[in-house]
Amino acid sequence: MKKRIFVGGTGRSGTRILSLLIGSHNTISKIPFESRFIIDNHGLVNLYSSLTENYSYDQGRIAIRNFEEMMTKTICEKNQSPYLGHPLYKYKDEVIAATKHLISNISEGAFNGTDCHSIDKSITTPFLRDKLDSLNYFISGTTRRVFKKRYQLSQLGYKGILPIENIYIPKYFPDDDELKTILRNYTDSIFGSILGDETMSWCEDTPANIYNMNFLSKIFEDAYFVHVMRHPAGVANSMLKVPWAPYTLKQVCDLLENLYERSIFSHKLAGRNSHIQYKFVKLEDLSDWNEVKLLSDWLGINPDKFSRDVRISSEKMNYFTEEMSDENLEYIQNRLQKYIDYFGYPFF
């Protein structure tokens, strides 16, 4: 039976090493990079809400447009930000084909028109722009009646107003079962292209997975969610070394307070919803092979089929005790004591 496993945490908490361990099993493949298109801004999570409970014409069409641009113009182009160098560009043809198929299933087609939510490229003064917009409405209506085809100023050579764009007519899914199937098949198609086998069980390790269980468990009803925790002081020390996190200890703790509050919410959410297959693990505990066996039993896989090349070392994860000053460790303890206690950690 195909298994879909989502690993998540705060970031710098061990999501990658744990997914490497799970993915070393001979029946499971690790998605070799964070997918980004599922729960990132403009990803499937926004697409889903904009076609269901948050549906409107604007919400739906903008969500489809943003997702299409994300998948075909940024994430699949090697030199486009914000996904500069994301490895998904290696599967560009497959991703574009799958995305076109997805959009055909979630829209009623498209038409050429002016999207007033596009970036305003006007080079005119606000007063002149307002007058030109009025003229544009007149030209659009007149040409549609006379020529049975709509023309706008931008098509007639004027560059000071919003361009003509391909605008999708979004479908509304009052019963979201159909949409869930569409989004699940789309994800399996993308991951199948990456792994070379759409039937293969997989493990994906975007840290924020654990904060999006409510959405992910709707789309992947049989998915497993592994919430990995690491000592907060170790996470704070690691965050100080990466460019995407704050670079002062105070701001790192500001960030972690909010992430841990969200972690507690997710922890309680899973406890209230028995349909969510959720397991909380401490990274430090997984240095004990008996704990790895308990995890594999929960996942329903044979622990003897893990590769021996991937191991979690308690020495490597606790190096922060030697790198951080006593003053900084005391500051972390004072700031994050609630979460150190909640998740059952000692202090060094």
| Assigned token pair, 297 | 């039993």
How does DSSP classify residue 54? T
Q: How many domains does the chain have?
A: 3
Q: Which residues contact 175 (CB under 8 A, 6 or more apart)?
A: none
Q: Are residues 216 and 316 in the same domain?
A: yes
60 in a structural domain: yes
Q: Are residues 250 and 339 in the same domain?
A: yes
pLDDT 10s digits, 109-130: 998 877 766 655 555 555 555 6
Q: CA geometry: angle at 96 spanning 90 and 97, to 5°?
A: 115
pLDDT of residue 271: 93
Among the listed ranges 142-146, 238-242, 294-298, 326-330, which one has the minimum average pLDDT value? Answer: 142-146
Q: Are residues 289 and 326 in the same domain?
A: yes
Residue range of the domain that includes 139: 119-162
Q: What is the dihedral of CA 34, 40, 45, 50, to 10 degrees?
A: -150
Cα–Cα distance for residue pair 106/120, rounded to 1 Å: 27
Distances in Å between the alpha carbon of 192 and those of 98, 121, 155, 266? Answer: 11, 40, 42, 29
- Give the per-residue SS3 of 64-84: HHHHHHHHHHHCCCCCCCCCC
pLDDT 10s digits, 311-325: 888 777 888 989 999
195 in a structural domain: no
Q: Are residues 25 and 40 in the same domain?
A: no
308 in a structural domain: yes
Q: Are residues 131 and 209 in the same domain?
A: no
Q: Are residues 83 and 96 in the same domain?
A: yes
| Assigned token pair, 6 | 């989502």
1 in a structural domain: yes
pLDDT 10s digits, 219-233: 999 999 999 999 999
Is the link from the previous residue into 126 a cis peptide, with omega within 30 of 0?
no
CATH of the domain at 222: 3.40.50.300
pLDDT 10s digits, 95-113: 999 999 999 999 999 988 7
10 in a structural domain: yes
**Cα 299 to chain centroid, rounded:** 23
Q: Are residues 253 and 226 in the same domain?
A: yes
Q: Are residues 245 and 286 in the same domain?
A: yes
Q: Are residues 175 and 307 in the same domain?
A: no
Q: Are residues 210 and 291 in the same domain?
A: yes
User: Do the beta carbons of residue 16 and residue 189 sit within 8 Å?
Assistant: no
pLDDT 10s digits, 287-299: 999 999 999 999 9
| Assigned token pair, 160 | 């000071």
User: Do the beta carbons of residue 111 and residue 164 sit within 8 Å?
Assistant: no
